[in-house]
């Protein structure tokens, strides 16, 4: 079975080897990376991996600012995607955590009854007070999340989707594939959630714009969860924020994104079943001196970027604001106060 992971990256250098090694452990056989505007060695490390046949690395073809969608459109014409039995579109901070069988992609497919698509529900892992970036597996550092059935005030939570080669594909979206409008009902794909249940009809046909990439998560994770480490350490979050907002001089900082994903109510260590094998796989990659040196340089540049940002008053204030922010989603402290539950 060939499973191709497709992803877009910008300044993810310190995290590449873990993500590649982890996905290989769970059954991904091929990788297609698109990169743009990297200054932390991401592109150099990917080029070295590509030279060894481990990944395909292409410059992002985007002409405007819609980097991900233009890359996904481009990916449909690439041999590494066309030759795949399954395609997995995900980001480098997202880890498919399979609970079924031997915890690999074939076991998930079997458990779901071999459908044409499987949409797996996000679980957002909190920062949980970890300030310093550490060059160690992310899946070993962050263990707390929101209640997996409830995110902020929402019972519907976003998904990412594993797509079989015979899916009647119109185009890949970042969260789910789309088939053409007007496709006869008998030609619509069999599509399940992470428990092997048919996805809701309105999600299937993309009939509800508000839930075009999500559906209620209750009962949807029996066979798999998508662990999303959107925050990581506070150091790394500053670098991530700078990557997406390179000019924020003298502007107020909105901490909503951070607070929405920093709810530590739930502990989930299930993905750590892979940690011993993951550490071995990463060590094997770093046995190549050039790969090891490029990874080390990416880590150095990541820390240097953190230091440069902390020298800016706006980013120093942002750091302090995030460190002091309550570990509750927006609105929840006010609700606790209103209900008289504050201690």
Q: What's the mean pLDDT in 109-113?
A: 98
CB 99 within 8 A of CB 89: no
What Rg value do the Cα atoms of the chain yield, rounded? 20
Residue 327 has a pLDDT of: 85
| pLDDT value, residue 332 | 81
Residues in the chain: 343
Rounded to two decimals, the pTM is: 0.95
Q: What integer pLDDT is reported at residue 66 of this predicted model?
A: 86
- Over residues 141-163, the pLDDT tens digits come to 999 999 999 998 899 999 999 99
Task: Quickly state the pLDDT bin for 339 (edges 50, 70, 90).
Answer: confident
Q: What is the pLDDT of residues 192-248, one digit of tens each?
A: 999 999 999 999 999 999 999 999 999 999 999 999 999 999 999 999 999 874 333
pLDDT of 306 above 90: yes
* Residue 164, pLDDT score: 98
According to the model, what pLDDT value does residue 248 have? 38
How many CA atoms lie less than 13 Å away from 67 in the CB half-sphere?
A: 14
126 in Cβ contact with 263 (< 8 Å): yes
pLDDT in tens, 31-69: 999 999 999 999 999 999 999 999 999 999 988 778 999
pLDDT of residue 82: 98
* pLDDT-derived band at 95, boundaries 50, 70, 90: very high
199 CA to centre of own chain: 21
256-273 average pLDDT score: 96
What pLDDT score was predicted for residue 252? 59
Strands 117-124 and 191-193: parallel
Residue 145 has a pLDDT of 97
Instruction: Supply the pLDDT for residue 250.
Output: 45
Q: What pLDDT is stored for residue 214 in this prediction?
A: 97
- pLDDT at residue number 331: 80
Q: How far apart are CA 142 and CA 297, in angstroms?
A: 24
Tell me the average pLDDT across 241-267: 77
Q: What is the model's pLDDT at position 243?
A: 85
End-to-end CA distance of the chain: 55
pLDDT for position 341:
76
């Amino acid at each position: 079975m060939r499973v191709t992971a497709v992803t877009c990256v910008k300044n993810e250098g310190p995290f590449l080897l873990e993500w590649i090694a982890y996905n290989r452990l769970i059954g991904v056989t091929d990788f297609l990376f698109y990169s743009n505007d990297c200054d932390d060695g991401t592109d150099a490390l990917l080029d070295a991996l590509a030279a060894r046949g481990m990944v395909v690395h292409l410059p992002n073809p985007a002409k405007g600012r819609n980097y991900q969608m233009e890359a996904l459109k481009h990916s449909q014409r690439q041999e590494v995607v066309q030759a795949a039995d399954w395609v997995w579109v995900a980001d480098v901070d997202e880890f498919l955590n399979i609970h079924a069988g031997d915890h690999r992609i074939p076991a998930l497919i079997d458990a779901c009854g071999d459908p044409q698509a499987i949409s797996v529900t996000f679980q957002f892992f909190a920062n949980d007070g970890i300030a310093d970036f550490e060059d160690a597996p992310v899946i070993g550092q962050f263990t707390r999340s929101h209640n997996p059935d409830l995110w902020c005030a929402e019972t519907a939570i976003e998904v990412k989707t594993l797509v079989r080669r015979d899916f009647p594909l119109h185009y890949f979206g970042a969260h789910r594939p789309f088939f053409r409008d007007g496709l006869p009902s008998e030609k619509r794909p069999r599509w399940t959630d992470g428990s092997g249940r048919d996805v809701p009809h309105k999600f299937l046909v993309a009939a509800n714009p508000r839930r075009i990439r999500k559906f209620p998560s209750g009962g949807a994770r029996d066979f798999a969860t998508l662990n999303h480490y959107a925050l990581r350490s506070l150091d790394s979050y500053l670098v991530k924020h700078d990557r997406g907002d390179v000019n924020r001089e003298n502007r107020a900082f909105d901490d909503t994104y951070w607070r929405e994903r920093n709810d530590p109510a739930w502990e989930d260590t299930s993905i750590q079943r892979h940690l011993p094998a993951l550490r071995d796989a990463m060590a094997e990659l770093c046995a190549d001196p050039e790969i090891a040196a490029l990874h080390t340089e990416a880590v150095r540049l990541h820390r240097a970027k953190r230091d440069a940002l902390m020298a800016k008053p706006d980013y120093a204030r942002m750091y302090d604001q995030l460190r002091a922010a309550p570990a509750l989603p927006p609105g929840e402290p006010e609700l606790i106060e209103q209900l008289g539950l504050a201690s």
